[in-house]
Structure 1
Amino acid sequence: MKAVFREKYGGIENLEIDERPRPKPKRDELLVEVRASSVNPADLYIAMGVPWLVRLVEGVGRPRKAVIGRDYAGVIVEVGNEITGFAVGDEIYGEATQTWAGFVCVKAKNAYRKPVSLSFDAAACAPLAGLTALQAIKKAPTVAGKRVLVVGASGGVGTFAVQLAASMGAQVVGIASTRNLEMVRGLGAAQVEDYEEPESLKSIAPCDVVIDTVCSRNFAEVLPWLAEGGVYVVVGATINMNSLLGRFAGPAGAYLKLMLAKKHGRRLAIVTAKPNDGIAEMSGLLESGQVKPVITKQFQLSDAVAALAYLKEKRPGGKISLVV
């Protein structure tokens, strides 16, 4: 089978796309023919082995698992003999590991029915980014009737966060790049401001919840946007690669903001995405059309290295799908 893998950490030039042995499922696994995946910043970080804390999970000296990829949508071709409730031919999706390949073995706990109304590439764009956004929103007691600010509203997580908060009855404020302002407004944001316009950012009135998917600003910059008693939600997978702390500790650096938040009467919540947590709720929202993956670019698996380069260099809005 074709797969995207690396034998050592480093830049994306270390990635290879070549034939790998087709995996054999264990008794508690499903063998899935992957139809689509998606490209996430996490895929780039894992391929590079940064922040360095990633290596404690992925392997210190070299990667324990060569094939990369987190999201998948596909068709079951083999069912382990300990598994019930699934059959060959079922269309499923979710978050797993080693998904940038023609086939992947998935634990039953990481397999969920694909929403019928979604294509494979749309479904594959939802698990990691969509569930990170959902988990971020759940850090607030409620968002109904509240002002919710999404920093990085046009990104993969941000586009889901805007739609989710709006569907829950929040008044959504988005911060995005100039080229994506109208897109964010179309997703349900009542107010959208350009992050490149300082005066525009000053117009943002205090919000009850701030969901920061970028983490490029210090707490002093965020404070005026956050109402007294408000919740500042930091998306833990976000890494400031221009910072030494970011490259070393990554999400751990966000904890340094905790004392500042408490000092100013605000609460800090940090999201380190839990795989597939909330996917049943997400499936319902996707099926009903209340939430839709925003796919702005599509690549073939054979062009996966170019897809990662595009993500790194262009920082596009929405999601990049990877068709197998």
Structure 2
Amino acid sequence: MKAVVQDRYGAPDVLQLRDVDRPVPGDDEVLVRVRAAALNAYDWHLMRGDPYVARLALGLRAPRATVRGRDFAGEVTAVGRNVAGLRPGDEVFGEVDGTLAEYACVPDAAVERKPAGLTFEQAAALPLAGNTALRGLRDVAGLRPGQHVLVNGASGGVGTFAVQIATALGAEVTGVCSARNADLVRSLGADRVIDYAREDFTRGGQRYDVVLDLIANHGIFALRRVLRPGGTIILAGGGNPGRLLGAVGLLLRGVVLSPLVRGRVLPLVGPAPSKEVLVALRELADSGKLAPVIDRTYPLDEAVEAIRYLEEQRTRGKIVVTV
């Protein structure tokens, strides 16, 4: 089968489209014929081996898992003997390493039937970014109807989902983005949009119950100025939190600085894939409350260009590779 692989860390040029062996599912896995795979910042961080501390788990000189990609949507072609509820021919989506390929093996706990009304490309855009937005707002912040939430980075991959999910949870939503994306963010449900080039939201008069920071372009104490007493700041990556520590640095910032803030500072670092979350995302999509925003699509043989575009540009929503 064809797959996008890498043998060393580096820029997008380390990625190559090659013929590799088709994976064989284990007892608790399903084999999926991949139809589409969405890209995330996770992919280019792993491609570069960034942050360096992650190489202790990923491989010191080169990644142990050589096939790139994380999100997917496709069709089940085989199931392990312990898998119940899925069978060959089912259309599914989920999250697992190695999806920039024609086939991928996925643990049963990380795959679910895809939303009926979404294309494979749209469904592939949901898992990792949707998981981050849903976990951050619903589970970590405990967002409740009537609360005010600010999404910093509202037009990006996670941000476009966060605006819609916060709206579905009954919150009043303020999105921070560029002027060119303001109409998009409003169309997703934002009650107010701030153009970051014209206004610094950390110096405005509005206060929020939840601040979801996806960009990391403001310090904790700047974010604290707009937080209501007892509110929550969620640090969900974005930007470049440090090539040495990366997300671990976010975790440390949250632990050290939280006592100095009049609310909670909680890092959201790589929430694990979950069947429960995939079901929740499917139900939101099927109800019309969640619609993926796709910036561009690329064929598999242009996956290198797709990752280069993701890394270098400010994308609107998601980049998807079709297989």
Q: How does 1:1-324 map to 2 (within 5 A)?
A: 1-137=1-137, 138-198=139-199, 202-203=203-204, 205-236=206-237, 238-240=238-240, 246-254=242-250, 255-272=252-269, 273-276=271-274, 278-324=277-323
Q: Distance in 1 between matches of 2:106 and 2:87?
A: 13
Does the aligned pair in 2 maintain the 1:94–1:111 contact within 8 Å? yes
Which of 252-261 and 40-49 deviates more?
252-261
Q: Distance in 1 between matches of 2:196 and 2:202?
A: 7
Give the TM-score of the pair, scaled to structure 2: 0.95
1:257 positional shift: 4.2
Does the aligned pair in 2 maintain the 1:154–1:317 contact within 8 Å? yes
Q: CA offsets, 1:262-294, max 9 Å, x none? A: 223210111122213522111100111101111
Q: Distance in 1 between matches of 2:100 and 2:200?
A: 43
Which of 255-264 and 160-169 deviates more?
255-264
CA 1:83–1:264: 2 relative to 1, 3 Å:
closer
Q: Distance in 1 between matches of 2:114 and 2:249?
A: 36
Does the aligned pair in 1 maintain the 2:5–2:16 contact within 8 Å? yes
CA 1:204–1:41: 2 relative to 1, 3 Å:
farther
Does the aligned pair in 1 maintain the 2:254–2:266 contact within 8 Å? no
Length, aligned pairs only: 319
Q: CA offsets, 1:85-107, max 9 Å, x none? A: 22111111100110110001111
Does the aligned pair in 2 maintain the 1:147–1:171 contact within 8 Å? yes
Does the aligned pair in 2 maintain the 1:239–1:251 contact within 8 Å? no
Does the aligned pair in 2 maintain the 1:195–1:201 contact within 8 Å? no
CA 1:297–1:303: 2 relative to 1, 3 Å:
same
1:116 maps to a residue whose letter is: A
CA 1:264–1:305: 2 relative to 1, 3 Å:
same
Q: Distance in 1 between matches of 2:265 and 2:228?
A: 13
Q: CA offsets, 1:63-105, max 9 Å, x none? A: 1111011101111111223323221111111001101100011
Give the TM-score of the pair, scaled to structure 1: 0.94
Runs of 5+ unmatched residues, structure 1: none
Q: Distance in 2 between matches of 1:239 and 1:176?
A: 14
1:292 maps to a residue whose letter is: A
Q: CA offsets, 1:105-136, max 9 Å, x none? A: 11111120111111101000000001100011
1:239 positional shift: 4.7
Identity of aligned residues (%): 39
1:230 positional shift: 0.8
Does the aligned pair in 2 maintain the 1:155–1:316 contact within 8 Å? yes
2:244 maps to a residue whose letter is: F
CA 1:233–1:201: 2 relative to 1, 3 Å:
closer
Runs of 5+ unmatched residues, structure 2: none
CA 1:64–1:198: 2 relative to 1, 3 Å:
same
CA 1:143–1:221: 2 relative to 1, 3 Å:
same
Give me the CA root mean square deviation: 1.5
